Amino acid sequence: MPVAAVLLCVILALLAVFQLALVFGAPIGRFAWGGQHRVLPARLRIGSAVSVVIYAVIGAFALDRAEVIDVVPDAVSTVAMWIVFGYFVLGIGLNAISRSRAERVTMVPVCAVLALLSLLVALG
């Protein structure tokens, strides 16, 4: 599913830009980390920076599983994509219970699309 993998990477890249904006102090914290901070405190900025790295790793696994790139054995990318699928399904639930309406309305659909795309990639 190269198309699904590429779409997954595009959305992850957009999320990475969003997370980097949070890292650098953009006042959009209501969309992330429970929405309790307009500008994230240092510990959550670190979390946002880690998220960017996680998104890059997920993108690499997705592209590998879709055979766009070849960086890990097939068995690794297959298992990784099932884990990624579970991660995004979990993300749907966690975002759905957020105290922040902005986060719920924005991130639940984003996680749902990411879950669907990662499922398609995992199924190969």
Q: How confident is the model at residue 85 (pLDDT cuts 50, 70, 90)?
A: very high
Using alpha carbons only, what angle is made at residue 118 by residues 5 and 106, rounded to the nearest 5 degrees? 100
pLDDT tens-digit profile of 68-82? 999 999 999 999 999
Radius of gyration, alpha carbons of the chain: 15
Name the residue with tokens 């914290």: 29
φ, ψ dihedrals at 112, nearest 5°: -65, -45
Q: Would the pLDDT of 1 be above 80? A: no
Q: Would the pLDDT of 45 be above 90? A: yes
DSSP letter assigned to residue 68: S
- Residue 103 has a pLDDT of 96
pLDDT tens-digit profile of 21-35? 999 999 999 999 999
- Residue 72 has a pLDDT of 96
From the centroid of its chain, how far is CA 118? 10
Half-sphere exposure of 44 (CA within 13 A, CB side): 19
pLDDT tens-digit profile of 87-122? 999 999 999 999 999 999 999 999 999 999 999 999
pTM of the model: 0.93
Q: How far apart are CA 39 and CA 45, in angstroms?
A: 9
Question: Where along the chain do its domains lie?
Answer: 2-123
Q: Are 95 and 41 in contact (CB under 8 A)?
A: no
- Residue 119 has a pLDDT of 98
